[in-house]
Structure 1
């Protein structure tokens, strides 16, 4: 069963990418053409990404602290920023789908649990009703036994009286 889930997951991720790609491409084009979007949405992540990349490369190569990190030219920064925004869009769409699937699963499990709880309560009510019914029947049986005992005693007394008269 677990092995069968992997192709479905792979197909699902491919589907998400295919659906998200046109949206990401649209966002990339808007990022390149719209000046405010380019300046405030594309360029800051691109410069930050470039800075982190240079710092991590220097650290990984054990070359010490970089003295000055070259800033990307505007065209490269816009391209990198647009790609980052496009990937972020794909990630957000995929994360939204995963979160909605998870919440649907949680709701389904909660409904199952509620149904199981309702069934348990119904069974407990039935057991309680049966217990009360058996207690009532036991009380009736005791009452009937007492009456039979009284009748037997009365019969025994009447037999004793009739025997003594004879």
Structure 2
């Protein structure tokens, strides 16, 4: 008989979100000062995310797809790209830790 379950999944997800905020803040700061990192690493994922998001929203609303989605400004694309990279880094660490625990 189960008396109660501790929502460890919610705690894990909340912790990962809290950890990703400083990571993305560091990435944004780094991108602000290094144009190569900003141009090659941060802006392309931000633009791809914007393109996919706009097309998905239009598809879900059953509206006509545009031939070309207007690109974001470099500052917005950098911010979104850094957020995405921060989430990817934190999630990869979490997946690695889960994999390590399962194989151990």
TM range, normalised to the smaller chain?
0.7 to 0.9
TM-score by length of 2: 0.79
**In 1: Cα distance, 2:57 partner to 2:15 partner:** 34
- The equivalent of 1:154 in structure 2 is none
SS at 1:66's partner residue?
coil
TM-score by length of 1: 0.53
Is 1:85 the counterpart of 2:46? The answer is no
Is 1:58 the counterpart of 2:58? The answer is yes
**In 1: Cα distance, 2:101 partner to 2:2 partner:** 18
The CA deviation at 1:90 is 1.6
Q: How many residues align?
A: 104
**Bigger shift: 56-65 or 12-21?**
12-21
- The equivalent of 2:7 in structure 1 is 7
SS at 1:75's partner residue?
helix
Higher relative contact order (CA 8 A, sep 6+): 2
**In 1: Cα distance, 2:57 partner to 2:12 partner:** 34
- The equivalent of 1:99 in structure 2 is 99
Query: Higher helix share goes to which structure?
Result: 1
Rg larger for: 1
Contact 1:32 1:79 in 2 (8 A): no
- The equivalent of 2:36 in structure 1 is 36
**Bigger shift: 25-34 or 65-74?**
25-34
SS at 1:96's partner residue?
helix
Contact 2:28 2:78 in 1 (8 A): no
Q: CA RMSD in A?
A: 2.4
- The equivalent of 1:67 in structure 2 is 67
